[in-house]
Chain A
Amino acid sequence: MSKSLEYSTLESASKWRNLPPPPGFSKSTSSRTGAKTSAPPPEAYNAIKEKRAMDFATAPAKSLPMQAFMLYMSGGGVQIFSMGIVFMLLLSPFKNLVGMNDAFAQFAPTTAKNPKALTTLILQKLVYIACNLLTLGVGLWKCRSMGLLPLGTGDWLAFETRGIAQEITLF
């Protein structure tokens, strides 16, 4: 079970704020302690979230050295291990990009009208896209080194066709 920080609880506009406390829950103690700590302003939350979003955006790039090492270790042959890693490298950027808006929704600033819009956190998303393309590039590079990319004429030879020569010589 992965535990993720629920940043949304920090928000004043959260719908959870208006829920009645569970039975037997003393609000006074909580409010007392809450009164003591001075609540940070929402701008600060947004700044933290933006920072978090940037961390998230660069995460694929940070894992690249590890992945490169794994690729190196898996060797150049077309085997089940290297194929698995290559497939992961090729697929994960696309999966990440498809789920990008959802993934960044949690970092959306309170001011954002639609946390899932493409325009929210646009800078971070661009960085995220770039990092994922980097991963994809590494995957493709690996494919090429394994000879799986149809780059040479030899890869298209099977699709070439020839007709019948005009002159017929009989032997």
Chain B
Amino acid sequence: MFFLPFALLLCSRLALAIHESDVGIIDWHKKLIGVPLTAPVFHHLAKNETPGSLLLVPTASNVLAALNTTDGSVAWRYVFGAGDDIASLHVEGDVVVALSGKGASMLRSFDAPTGLILFEKRLDAPTTGPTGIDVAFEPNTGALFALNTHLISRVGEVHWTWDAEDKTQPYSKLVHTGAALYAVGILQQTASLHLAAINPVTGAQIHVTWKHLPPSVSSFVVTNDTVIWVDHSTEGLGFLQLVPTLRSNIRTEKTQRWLEVVDVDLRDKGLFVGALTNGEAKVLRAQGGVIEAIHTFPANDGPQALFAGGLDKAGEPFVARLWTTASNLTAVSIFSPGKDVLTATFPLHAHKHGIVSHLALDGTRLVITTSTGAVQLWEQDQLVWGREESLATINRAAFVELPLPERVARVNLEGESFVSRLTRQIGDAKDFPAYAAAFAQRFVTGAPPREEVVVSVHDHTASLGRDAFGFRQVLVTATAYGSVFGLDTASGVVLWTRVLGLGWAGEGVGGTVKPVKIFVVDGEGDGKDVVLIAQRTATNTLVDTVLFRIDPLTGASVSPAEENTERLLEGTDVIAGPLTEAFLLPGSDVIILIDEYFQVTPYPDTEASAALVARHAPNLYLPFLEKFSDGPRVVGHALKLDPNLSDKYVAHRTWGLRLPLGATVKEVVKPHVGPVASLGKVLGNRTTLYKYLNPRMFVVLTKGTDAVDAPGCGVYVVDGAKGSVLYSAVVPGASTADCDVHATLTENWLVYHYYDGDGTREGETKGWRLVTVELYEGGLDEKTQSSDMSAFSVDSMQVEALEQSYIFAHGITAITTTSTKFGISSKDIIVATHNNKIHAIPRRMLNPRRPKDRKPTAEEQQEEQLIPYDVLIPEDPRRTISHNYEVAQTRNIITSPALLESTSLVFAYGLDVFLTRVAPSSTFDILNKNFNKAQLVLTISGLAVGIFIAKPMVRRKRLRERWYN
């Protein structure tokens, strides 16, 4: 009878939702902003209640963000929608103005301290694409002027729009002086500088004119009321003062040999920088039609100079020049009128962060952004904080299990002599007292060592070793900016950073390296290696395929030639040309790479892997996307070797997926491969539905065209060996050409999600649908042994699909299933919704056998846990696994099993990155944290005492019975 309370205790806390106490312990979240597009803008908060300052920056992820300069945290951010690309950002006072959208016609104004939108207004868009966008603010009135190519709009209490008569004159800068509003633009084809002077109050045109410029002038700088440019042919400086009549003359300065003029964002102070051909740079001030040099930066000893300017909190202007010294340090000298020039050098690791791309300045504080998306704030030569913003652009990620701790792994049992074993065991025995003490303490207090049960986010001290439950793994992520990060899944800490080198593609500017595939293979010992395959694109559009083999624990290259981690990763060129596909051969560490001519190159390039390819080749089928003139198609391939033509295997087409006319492939969804715990589904009456476990199945999502009779969006489950369609459905999209369908396939279970915009009849609704499909080998107790059947068997087409569709409350951006070590735990569906949450949908809800119009029988409830069909999947906040984090723009979710069968790691990446652990069938294999160990110990000891007392009594009683009976 003592079992009962314990059984109740164990079951009392079924893990339905994430507990508040677990937040930050089992999960972590990085709020990111994306890689900055321009130099960040320092903004000193005018209001005193929020001390400090903000760093405002528009990013490539289409985000307008404000960072706290003290610690680099995100103060606020505004994520622009798709098709609403941010075009420019302007700051004045506490107002941040952003222009975005098609034609940059959407004007939004934000409150700088809070990020709240003050107003939103759609302006007139130019007839052509926007070429010049600028915003000028009118002092004191709060009104602003927005220039968009040939349109100028005043936004404020008085609203007007001025449109240039000649639409071919693209203005690009807007200057507001007390006298007039000037629009300045340059058109190099006609070698002309276009000027317009407008009355800022009425919008009336005062004057429009143009001036002839030397044809070599391509850009100019406007500061205060002066337009300045450099004539590259004569290396002279030309400038023009703006007056309302626009009658002033062009003047030139030819005493120095000028290279370029740089705007340092100090328009109001009239400051800008002119660089000379001899490497010197001068800080210039334009005032009253005169240009004077107020400081000269001497010629620097290295290439690349960046200039930036800024005002400190007191309003004093600062101008900085940053360059890389010959000894590979980053040097910066900061000048302020009336002060000494401050020069600092600091090490900026190019092998970790790339090169500096933007510079911003606030007094003596520097913010730099780099080519790999790092944002760093330096106080002279001290790094105050850094952010790795390229994590917002992860495009490949993989979990890597950690190897066993060294003390366990080092034991080499084979070939160990008796004496050495004895000495080893004696050596190990010295740890016994500590172990015993720890065990006793654990037993008495019931508090297990923290690291074992809960690998905590805050626990950075533990060395990188596998924890008892395998919650700690390394997440290797490769970003679109050519950087690779190793993240600790327990804490989210960046363990290492590597930058992929450009190799020969780096000669010249603009080469890119884009990761396309990531594989985890066995490395030396019991460790794992990560193989990253990337495509290098040079400026001359030549592409080649490079392979990087990395140790996931350190980020070091496995190749001994590249063991120096202080350099860029260069990798090995595997294919001279683009990669078509790459596959990992099952049960091995051999990767086969398929080039553009469909030749197969095995990696590693050894005899053994060639033999393996030869052995597998007759049975290998490779379906992948091929580009044709009418769009991509899914084509199946087999391998063959023709010794007369080539010494390599060549993939040749065996089948093509026939789609309805007008449909094109949108996406190929690979199945989640994992262990299959059960071959069938047992029903309430003990009969079985055998799962259709064809291991060759994959999903093809198609989209239609805009044509009237075009097919809608298609969902196909295809056999990869012969291309036959096992299941297909046509679903509506938002429009026929816009198919927002997401699908995931695991075992015999397909789940897809789409938008139904067709529900216009009575009793129907527009909205998102979630469909669950399970494929079976046939009816009750019918089996065909699909999992080991040949693809060409007659029975392989015997599929029975059970399906049900539900209304889902949200649109989703990514969908996947959980994965566990043995596949015994049920699988949840994990979706990333449009409202920036990550949801888990339990398997029970998506069981297509949920009975309609009747109640499930007692057996069905007991055996299958069936619940009656309900058309709506309720939005249960307990199923939000992302707590109250905002996980924005999730592109993909990957899952990985832990060592515990019950638990699966979930990693979502997009703009933000988020990792958590889920236990779809609750943590049945781990003792509950609240388990009352003291009670158990007390009960057992109480029972022992009871036995101790009662035993002699019973013995005496027995003896007496014998005598007196």
With contact pairs A162-B787, A165-B787 given, residues A171 and B670 touching in the complex (Cβ less than 8 Å): yes
Q: Are A154 and B583 in contact (CB under 8 A)?
A: no
Taking CB atoms and an 8 Å cut-off, the chain B residues in 892-937 that contact chain A are none
Q: Mark A127-171, 1 if CB is under 8 A from B, else 0.
A: 000000000000000000001000111110110101111111111
- Note all chain B residues with C-beta closer than 8 A to A170: 583-586, 592, 620-622
Q: Which one of B389-397, B537-545, B676-684, B768-776 contacts A?
A: B676-684
B693, closest chain A residue (CB): A162
Expressed in whole angstroms, the Cα–Cα distance for A127 and B833 within the complex equals 72
CB <8 Å contact, B698 and A162: no
B623 within 8 A of A: yes
Check if B686 sits within 8 Å of A153, measured CB to CB. Answer: yes
Interface residue B721 (Cβ < 8 Å from any Cβ of A): yes
**B686, A151: Cβ atoms under 8 Å?**
yes
- Inside 8 A of A168's CB, which chain B residues have their CB? 586, 616, 619-621
Contact with A along B608-633 (1 / 0, CB 8 A): 00000000100111110000000000
Question: Would A154 and B788 count as touching, CB distance under 8 A?
Answer: no
Partner of B791, one of A1, A147, A155, A165: A165
Distance A47 CA – B862 CA, assembled complex (angstroms): 55
Dominant SS at the B interface? loop
A164–B788 touching, CB < 8 Å: yes
Q: Inter-chain contact count A-B, CB under 8 Å?
A: 87
CB nearest neighbor in B for A150: B686
- Complex Cα gap A88–B965 (Å): 30
From known contacts A157-B680, A170-B585, A170-B620, infer whether A165 and B788 are also in contact, taking CB-CB under 8 Å: yes
Q: In the bound complex, do residue B623 and residue A169 qualify as a contact, i.e. CB atoms below 8 Å apart?
A: yes
Say how far B655's CB is from chain A's closest CB, in angstroms: 12
Q: Does B714 contact A (CB under 8 A)?
A: no
Given the interface contacts A167-B696, A169-B720, does A153 sit within 8 Å of B790 by beta carbon? no
Q: Which residues of A contact B721 (CB under 8 A)?
A: 167, 169
B206 shortest CB reach to chain A, Å: 67
Determine whether B169 belongs to the interface, using a CB cutoff of 8 Å to chain A: no
Q: Is the CB of B688 within 8 A of A171?
A: no
A168 and B585 alpha carbons, distance in the complex (Å): 9
B353 to chain A, nearest CB (A): 35
Q: Give the secondary structure class of A's interface.
A: loop
Residues on B with C-beta less than 8 A from A165 are 694-696, 787-791
Q: A170 vs B600: C-alpha distance in the bound complex, in angstroms? A: 13
State in angstroms the CA–CA spacing of A166 and B695 once bound together.
10
Which B residues from 772 to 789 make CB contacts under 8 A with A?
Answer: 781, 785, 787-789
Whether A171 pairs with B698 at a CB distance below 8 angstroms is yes
C-alpha spacing A147/B721, complex, angstroms: 42
Please name the residue on chain A nearest to B862 by beta carbon.
A147
How long is the Cα–Cα vector from A163 to B676 in the complex, in angstroms?
Answer: 12
- A160-B679 CB under 8 A given contacts A165-B789, A168-B619, A170-B585: yes
Q: Do residues B688 and A169 form an inter-chain contact, with CB atoms below 8 A?
A: no
Q: Chain B 401-427 against A: per-residue CB contact (8 Å), 1 yes, 0 no?
A: 000000000000000000000000000
B20 to chain A, nearest CB (A): 35
Q: Which residues of A contact B792 (CB under 8 A)?
A: 167
Is B216 interfacial (CB 8 A cutoff)?
no
CA distance A110 to B781 in the complex (A): 60
B671 touches A154 (CB 8 A): no
Beta-carbon contact of A169 and B621 below 8 Å: yes
Considering the complex, give the chain A residue whose CB is closest to the CB of B620.
A168
Q: How far is the CB of A166 from chain B (nearest CB, A)?
A: 5
- Contact string, A39-78, partner B, CB cutoff 8 A, digits 1/0? 0000000000000000000000000000000000000100
Q: B636: nearest residue on chain A (CB-CB)?
A: A169
Q: Output the residue of A153, A157, A158, A171 with the most chain B CB within 10 A.
A: A171
**CB of B859 closer than 8 Å to a CB of A:** yes
* Cross-interface CB contact of B680 among A1, A147, A151, A154, cutoff 8 Å: A154
Complex: chain A residue closest to B676, CB-CB: A162
**Complex formed: what's the CA distance from A155 to B965 in Å?**
53
Residue of A1, A147, A166 near B619 (CB, 8 A) is: A166
Q: B554 at the A/B interface (Cβ < 8 Å)?
A: no
Q: Whole-angstrom distance between the alpha carbons of A170 and B693 in the complex?
A: 16
Residue-by-residue, is B445-480 near A (CB-CB < 8 Å gives 1, otherwise 0)?
000000000000000000000000000000000000
**Which of A147, A153, A157, A165 has most chain B Cβ within 10 Å?**
A165
Q: Check: B687 CB closer than 8 A to any chain A CB.
A: yes
B677 → A minimal CB distance (Å): 9
Minimum Cβ distance to chain A for residue B623 (Å): 7
B685 within 8 Å of A (CB atoms): yes
Q: Which residues of B contact A151 (CB under 8 A)?
A: 686
Give the chain B neighbours of A164 by CB distance below 8 A: 788
Instruction: Name which residue of chain B comes closest to A77, CB basis.
Output: B862
| A76 vs chain B, min Cβ distance (A) | 8
Residue-wise, chain A 2-40 has the 8 Å CB interface mask toward B (1 for contact) of: 000000000000000000000000000000000000000
Among A76, A152, A169: residue with most chain B CB under 10 A: A169
Q: Which residue of the partner chain A has the closest CB to B638?
A: A167
Asked whether B688 lies within 8 Å of A154 as measured between CB atoms, the reply is yes
Q: Contact at A155–B788, with CB atoms within 8 Å?
A: no
Q: How far is the CB of A92 from chain B (nearest CB, A)?
A: 24
Q: Max chain B CB contacts within 10 Å: which of A151, A157, A166, A167?
A: A167
Closest approach, in angstroms, between the C-beta of A168 and any C-beta of chain B? 5
| Bound-state Cα–Cα, A151 to B792, Å | 34
Q: Is B622 touching A169 in the complex (CB atoms < 8 A)?
A: yes
Residue in A1, A76, A166, A170 whose Cβ sees the most chain B Cβ within 10 Å: A170
Report the nearest A residue to B781, measured CB to CB: A153
Q: Which residue of B lies closest to A78 (CB)?
A: B862
Q: Is the CB of B619 within 8 A of A157?
A: no
Q: How far is the CB of B66 from chain A (nearest CB, A)?
A: 43
From B621, B682, B787, A167 is in contact (CB under 8 Å) with B621
Task: Kindly report which residue of chain A lies nearest to residue B790, judged by CB atoms.
Answer: A166
Tell me the minimal C-beta distance from A106 to chain B in angstroms. Answer: 23
A167/B788 contact (C-beta < 8 A), A152-B685, A152-B686, A153-B781 known = no
Q: Give residues 147-192 of B contacting A (CB, 8 Å).
A: none
Q: State in angstroms the CA–CA spacing of A164 and B788 once bound together.
A: 5
Evaluate whether A167 and B619 lie within 8 angstroms (CB atoms) in the complex, with A147-B686, A153-B686 already known: yes
Residues of A within 8 A of B965 (CB): 1
Q: How far is the CB of B756 from chain A (nearest CB, A)?
A: 29
In the assembled complex, the CB of A23 is this many whole angstroms from the nearest CB of chain B, namely 24
Minimum C-beta distance from A41 to chain B (A): 38
CB neighbours of A160 from chain B (8 A)? 679
- Pairwise interchain contact B679-A147, C-beta atoms closer than 8 A: no
- Chain B residue numbers with a CB within 8 Å of A157 are 678-680, 682, 688
Docked pose: A163 CA to B789 CA in angstroms: 9
Whether B688 contacts A152 by the Cβ 8 Å rule is yes
Contact A171 B623 (CB under 8 A): yes
- What's the least CB distance linking B115 to chain A, in Å? 43
Min Cβ gap A162→B in Å is 4
Instruction: Give the CA-CA distance A133 to B926 in the complex, in Å.
Output: 45
Q: Which residue of B lies closest to A164 (CB)?
A: B788
Q: Please, how many angstroms separate the alpha-carbon atoms of A168 and B583 in the complex? A: 12
Q: Determine the distance from Cα of A151 to Cα of B680 in the docked complex, in whole angstroms.
A: 16
Ordered by A's residue number, 15 sampled pairs between the chains whose C-beta atoms are within 8 Å are A147-B863, A152-B682, A153-B680, A154-B683, A154-B686, A155-B682, A155-B686, A157-B688, A165-B787, A167-B721, A167-B791, A169-B623, A169-B698, A170-B583, A171-B623
- List 9 additional contacts besides A155-B686, A170-B622, A171-B670; criterion CB under 8 Å: A153-B680, A158-B678, A165-B696, A166-B791, A167-B621, A168-B620, A169-B621, A169-B720, A171-B720
| Residues of chain B whose beta carbon lies under 8 Å from any beta carbon of chain A | 583-586, 592, 616, 619-623, 670-671, 678-680, 682-683, 685-688, 693-696, 698, 720-721, 781, 785, 787-792, 858-859, 862-863, 965
Nearest 7 A/B pairs, CB to CB: A152-B686, A154-B682, A169-B720, A170-B583, A169-B696, A163-B788, A171-B670
